[in-house]
Amino acid sequence: MDRQKYQELMGTFFEWNQPELVKIFSELLASAAAEEALTPAQIMSQNYETARANPEIHSIPGNLKDARDAIFPYFWGTDSWNNPLHLENVRGPANQASLIGAIACLLKNPNLCTDRYSQRSNELEVKAITALANLIYYHTIDPWGVFTIGGTISNLYGAKIGIERVLPGAMQVGINGRRVAGICSQAGHYSNQTVAGWLGIGTSNLIEIPTDANLSMRIDLLEETLHRLYREKTKVAYICATFGTTDGFGIDDVRAIRECAERISQEYGETMPQIHCDAAVGWTMSVLTDYDRKSNPLKFEPKLLGMIEKAQALNVGLRYADSVTIDFHKFGRGHYPSSAFIVNRREDLKYLARTVSDTPYFSDADASRDPALLTLECSRPAIGPYSVIASLNGIGLAGWQMLVARSLELAQRLKERLAKIEYCKVLNSEIISPSVNWWVLPKGRNAQEIFDRLVRNELSSEQIQRYSKEIRHLFDKRLKTMDAAVDARLGFTTSFGYCPNGVDIPAWKAVFFNPRTTDEIVDRMITSIEEL
C-alpha cells in the first residue's frame, strides 16, 4: 500500500477540516434559504433508469467538494416544505432548534442500542422520553420508552406488547394457529394493516370499528365487537385508539375504550388487551393542557380560548392509554426520524425483553437500561432525542402553545369561510384540529343537503359516484389553473375517515402545520375556489 496516499485519504475524510466543512455547510444552508424566494416545487421528473445505469462511484479518492457535488443536484431537487403555501399533508418545515440538535447528533453519530455505543446520548433519550411522557400522560409516575424509525414501528411495539399479554411466550413459540385479533378505528392510519400483517395475526384479523361523524370510534360498536370476538374464543391482543387521524384529526375517547375493554374482558375472564394510542399526529395538543385560560398570558382571542378548553378536555383521554405513539417530525416540526414509543408504566416493557444471552453481540448490555435488550432495531439513530430536547427547550412551552394555537386558529378561519359557501361542505367542522376536510361541488349544488342525503342513505350509487367525480374534478381543475406564487398547495383524500353506510367520502384537505402560513393565504384559498 502507498502509505502517503493512505495518509492523504485519512486526512481528507477522517480528520476535522473545520474551514472546509463550514464552507460546504454554509453553501448548503444558503441553497436551502434560497428556496424562500421560490414557489413550492412541483415534483421533479425522476429518471430511475438513469440512476440505476449511472451509480457514479468514482474510481479514485477525491475530496469533500466531490462529496458535495455528488449530492447537490438531488439536494436542490428536494423541497424542504418551508414555503407557507404547503398545506397538503401532515408535514411542516423542521424548526431550526431541531436542526441544531440534528447536526450535533450527526457530528457524534451515536447508536442508541447500548450505553457503550451512545454514552450520554442514551441519557438524553431518557430525558426526552420523560419530557414527552409528562406532557402526554400529565406527570405520570414511571414512564419509559424508546425512539423508533417511524410511527408504524411505534404502533408495532404497542401491538406486540398486546400479543405477549394475551399469549405469554409468543415471542418464543409464536401464536401456534390461535386466532388473535387487533382492533382499530376505521379512520385510523393504514399502518394498522401493516402491523397486523407483519406481526403474523393477519390483516383479516384486524377489526376496524366505524366512526361517528366526528371521526371518533363508536363505543357501542366496539362493545358489540368485543362480545362477538370473546364468544368466538378469539384472543383480543390490543385496541389501537387514535388521537388525531391523519386527514380529519379525529380523536377517539380513550377513556371510554379502556372502560369498555376492562368490563367486557373481565366478564369473559380474558386478559385485558393493550390499550395503545396512535397519537403520531395529535400529541402536540397536550402542550395546551396547562394553559391558564383565566389569566390568558398569551392573550388568545375568546374564540381560541374556547377551542383550547375543548382541547384540554380531550387531552385527558391520553392518560388512559397503556402506550402511545408520537411523531415529533409531524406537528412537532422536528427532523426525521423522530418517532417515539412511550409506555405509561415502565414494567410493561418486560413483554419485549430479551436476555443478554440472546444478544451476544451486546454481551456487556445492562438489563436495567440498555435498549438493545428490548428494541426491534439493533441500530437506532439519536436524531429523535436530540431534535426533541433542542426543540422543546429552544422554543419553550409558551412557544409551543402559540404554535399549536395558531394552527387551530387558521384552520378555524378556513372552516368559517367555507361554511358560507353553499356549494362547499366542511366535513370535520366540529373537530378541534389544525386540518380541514371539505367538499367543493359545482356552483348551484347544495353541498350540505347532498351530504345529509348521503348520511341518510338516500343517494343512489350512481349519484354518489357522480358527486365524488365532481369533487375530484374541481380539485384537479384548481391544481392545473392555480397561481403557484399565491395559491396554497392542497391535499386530497379518497376517504377522510367517516364512512356512513359503508361509503368512502372523498375530501379536499388543508393542514396548517407551517407556522408562516397567513390569514391572507387562507382568504386567497377561498377566492381560488370561487374562481373555479
pLDDT tens-digit readout, 464-503 = 999 999 999 999 999 999 999 999 999 999 999 999 999 9
Predicted pLDDT of residue 362:
67
Q: How far apart are CA 29 and CA 261, in angstroms?
A: 51
Q: How far apart are CA 98 and CA 391, in angstroms?
A: 5
CATH node for 125-328+339-355+363-387: 3.40.640.10
Q: Are 81 and 335 in contact (CB under 8 A)?
A: no
- Other C-beta atoms lying within 10 Å of the C-beta of residue 190: 9
Q: How far apart are CA 348 and CA 157, in angstroms?
A: 11
Predicted pLDDT of residue 57:
82
339: Cβ–Cβ under 8 A, 6 or more apart, which residues? 147, 148, 149, 150, 151, 153, 154, 280, 325, 326, 327, 328, 329, 384
The cell for 78 is 428536494
Buried-exposed string 265-274: b where 16+ CB fall within 10 A, e elsewhere: beeeebebbb
Strand 323-327 relative to strand 424-426, pairing: unpaired
- Locate the domains of the chain by residue range: 3-71, 125-328+339-355+363-387
Predicted pLDDT of residue 467:
98
Predicted pLDDT of residue 45:
60
- Other C-beta atoms lying within 10 Å of the C-beta of residue 89: 20
Buried-exposed string 458-482: b where 16+ CB fall within 10 A, e elsewhere: ebeeeebeebbebbeebbeebeeeb
Tell me the chain's radius of gyration from C-alpha atoms. 25
- What's phi and psi for 6, nearest 5 deg? -65, -45
Predicted pLDDT of residue 363:
64
**Under-70 pLDDT residues of the chain:** 41-45, 361-368
SS3 of residue 38 by DSSP: coil
Q: How far apart are CA 400 and CA 286, in angstroms?
A: 10
Strand partners, 340: 147, 326
Q: How far apart are CA 27 and CA 362, in angstroms?
A: 40
- Other C-beta atoms lying within 10 Å of the C-beta of residue 141: 9
Buried-exposed string 53-79: b where 16+ CB fall within 10 A, e elsewhere: eeeeeeeeeeeeeeebeeeeeeeeeee
